[in-house]
């Protein structure tokens, strides 16, 4: 092995070590945040939730905390190698998620006057129910600012459920009527996703309310 080859090997080892150190650092940072997430979210609920007077703000608060739990659990399972301590936290966080869901169900009153049951875009959505689900998800997503990921995920999820009967470009176009501007549907949102639990929660809740109102 000549000097150039030895130098290349040395550089490659250095780059590999720096990358490994970065991964370890990111894992340690995530694990520390994950382990403390239960206490942090529970504390926020006890301190902030009871001081919120408006029911819509309470709903917003609970849904945000539930999204944080879903995203943290998704990342823990799919992106990080963490210790047994962090894995034990998953059960506590799931219990907290169920508690938030219970509180949310008490607040989330789908009254008929608040439901958008008339399908405003029959060429896009397969039914009144499909449009209503889209509108309810839109009410949450429009506050987050992560439009490309959120609405791409929503397109693929509703397409899979046969709630959408159009191509991605048509869905993108109709979003403009709701002041949502994205260039395209992001195919990276078509697979497993931390947003799925909130989507399924809204879908099942809406199904239950509409069944009750029949």
* Rounded distance between C-alpha atoms, residue 64 and residue 85, angstroms: 25
pLDDT of residue 33: 73
Closest CA to 138 of 100, 170, 176, 106: 176
Query: What's the angle, vertex CA 164, arms to CA 160 and CA 169, rounded to 5?
Result: 105
| Residue extents of the structural domains in the chain | 3-107, 112-213
* Rounded distance between C-alpha atoms, residue 88 and residue 134, angstroms: 35
More confident residue, 38 or 19: 38
Q: What is the mean pLDDT of residues 180-186?
A: 92
pLDDT of residue 173: 94
Q: With bands split at pLDDT 50, 70 and 90, how would you rate the model's confidence at 182?
A: very high
The predicted model scores a pTM of 0.58
Tell me which range, 9-18, 109-118, 169-178, 205-214, is most confidently predicted by mean pLDDT: 169-178
């Amino acid at each position: 092995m000549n000097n150039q080859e030895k130098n290349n090997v040395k550089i490659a080892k250095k780059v590999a070590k720096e990358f490994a150190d970065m991964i370890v650092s990111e894992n340690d940072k995530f694990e520390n945040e994950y382990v403390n997430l239960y206490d942090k979210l529970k504390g926020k609920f006890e301190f902030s939730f009871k001081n919120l007077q408006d029911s819509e703000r309470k709903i917003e608060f609970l849904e945000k905390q539930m999204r944080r739990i879903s995203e943290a659990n998704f990342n823990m399972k799919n992106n990080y190698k963490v210790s047994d301590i962090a894995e034990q936290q998953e059960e506590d966080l799931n219990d907290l998620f169920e508690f938030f869901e219970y509180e949310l169900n008490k607040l989330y009153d789908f009254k008929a006057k608040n439901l958008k049951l008339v399908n405003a875009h029959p060429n896009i959505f397969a039914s009144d129910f499909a449009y209503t689900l889209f509108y309810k998800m839109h009410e949450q997503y429009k506050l987050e600012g992560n439009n490309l990921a959120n609405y791409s995920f929503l397109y693929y999820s509703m397409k899979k459920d046969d709630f959408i009967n159009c191509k991605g470009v048509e869905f993108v176009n109709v979003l403009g009527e709701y002041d949502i501007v994205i260039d395209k549907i992001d195919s990276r949102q078509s697979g497993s996703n931390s947003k799925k639990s909130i989507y399924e929660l809204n879908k099942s809740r809406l199904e239950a309310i509409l069944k009750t109102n029949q």
